[in-house]
Amino acid sequence: MDYTQQYRQKLTSAEQAVEVVRSGDWVDFGWSVNTPALLDRALASRYEQLADVKIRGGLVLHRPAVACVPDAAEHFLWNAWHTSAAEREMVREGLAFYTPMRFSEVARYYQEDLPQVDVAMIQTAPMDEKGIFNFGPNPAFMAAVCRLARVVIVEVNHRIPHCAGLGGNGVHISHVDMIVEGDDPPMEQLLPDKCLTRVDRAIARQVVPQIPNGACLQLGIGRTPNAIGQMIAESDLRDLGVHSELYAEAFVDLDLAGKITGARKSFDRGLQTYAVALGSRRLYEHIGRSRSCMAAPVEYVNEVSRLAQIERLISVNGAVDVDLFGQVSSETSGLRHISGAGGQLDFVLGAYLSPGGKSFICFPSTLTDKRTGQTVSRIRPTLAEGSVVTCPRNVVQYLVTEYGMVNVKGLTVWQRAEAIIGLAHPRFRDELIRQAERNGLWRRTNKKPDISS
């Protein structure tokens, strides 16, 4: 069937399309690279006519136009599934709020729990011959958004690659109400720092030996996964697979190095399965032309019961702070919001259930406080007041810093305290021991960690 006539009938301008938005509406901007650009600016230009328009989005890589209008909070409220640097700034300004979630469940929220999506505005690849607007590198939960929305508007961006995948990586023109041809802004780039530090390499050196041939990898974004990917590329490991919420830059390097075949995957054999891809133009070009990269809805990729069926699933994620109980906060530091839960809990649970699988939470032992310039420990006696627990202590498996690695499964609270203090920077260990004693986590028989590390 030729869908050209339907396309012409539904084609309109951004200014006309946003006229469907009314005060009080819930508007969905999708997620990350699917965030509309032209429609965002057109909606912002209507700010004087609108009040209390609530927008759902997340992981935007630039400040949206709706957050730049005068008295923005009176007109638009941003509700983020995950926060980028731009959204953290909006949270501090009172223009945005975070929505707690497990990434594997978000599609279900749209299907069962959310009261409404009045208008969906989503950036897509151009329509194909089957009448489908592909979501590109980010199927995530876009199909669920389109199913719920009263009005669906797509903004076409010719730079978004058409990514092969399971059903759910696109919306058919029959379900689209309006089409806007955008001005094709470049794909945003979110890159890990290529300048690896001694700390990054020290962490990677402890994790990579734990990875067997035929392992299936889940890597987050950042310097540590990049360091691990680089070290794997230089290793003798072979026949690795990918089943990862995020397709990060490190996977491109591993694929080009011939390390990824997916030959031993329990299912999706030979395919690299992901729900979101973020990176350079090289990454987008790679997944667009690769026959093995498979984009899939997040409810498929992150479902814990499915992860449990993958043999040798290796999960590598980061943290903001960890305390002596083994609690992991990857979202906030105290009341200061930083990112979001994403699928970390999904993969920590799934990797442990996987036959031969392992879950690693990796983080540098210290950070430099930007406000004071002081070096502070990321291992705390207890999480700072107001910190959100992303991974509770009873699900965490391996914790890794540049000073060591420990499996906390099955350890009592006093054993955990001793082991986790051994992961801290030596200058902070004595104070952590004193705090552990005050908090009833230290036995007389505990060994004092070697501070000469």
Mean pLDDT of the chain: 93
Predicted pLDDT at 192? 53
Q: Are 204 and 166 in contact, with CB atoms under 8 Å apart?
A: no
Place of tokens 């935007």: 60
Evaluate whether 4-181 and 198-438 have a shared fold: yes
Domain residue ranges in the chain: 4-181, 198-438
pLDDT of 157 > 90? The answer is yes
Catalytic residue, from 87, 105, 155, 245: name it.
245
Mean pLDDT to the nearest integer, 171-186: 94
- Enter the CATH code of domain 4-181: 3.40.1080.10
Quick check: is 431 catalytic?
no
Mean pLDDT to the nearest integer, 32-37: 94
Tell me the residue ranges of DSSP E strands in 33-100.
53-57, 76-80, 96-98
Alpha-carbon distance of 292 to 426, in angstroms, equals 45
pLDDT, tens digit, 9 for 90 and up, residues 382-416: 999 999 999 999 999 999 999 999 999 999 999 99
Predicted pLDDT at 334? 92
Q: Which of 157-166, 255-264, 402-411 has the lowest mean pLDDT?
A: 157-166
pLDDT band, residue 167 (cuts 50/70/90): confident
User: CB-hemisphere CA count at 13 Å for 301?
Assistant: 38
Range 428-436, long-range pairs (CB < 8 A, 24+ positions): 428/365, 428/366, 428/377, 428/379, 432/324, 432/377, 432/379, 432/381, 435/324, 435/381, 436/324, 436/381
Instruction: For domain 198-438, give the fold.
Output: Glutaconate Coenzyme A-transferase (3.40.1080)
Alpha-carbon distance of 123 to 136, in angstroms, equals 9
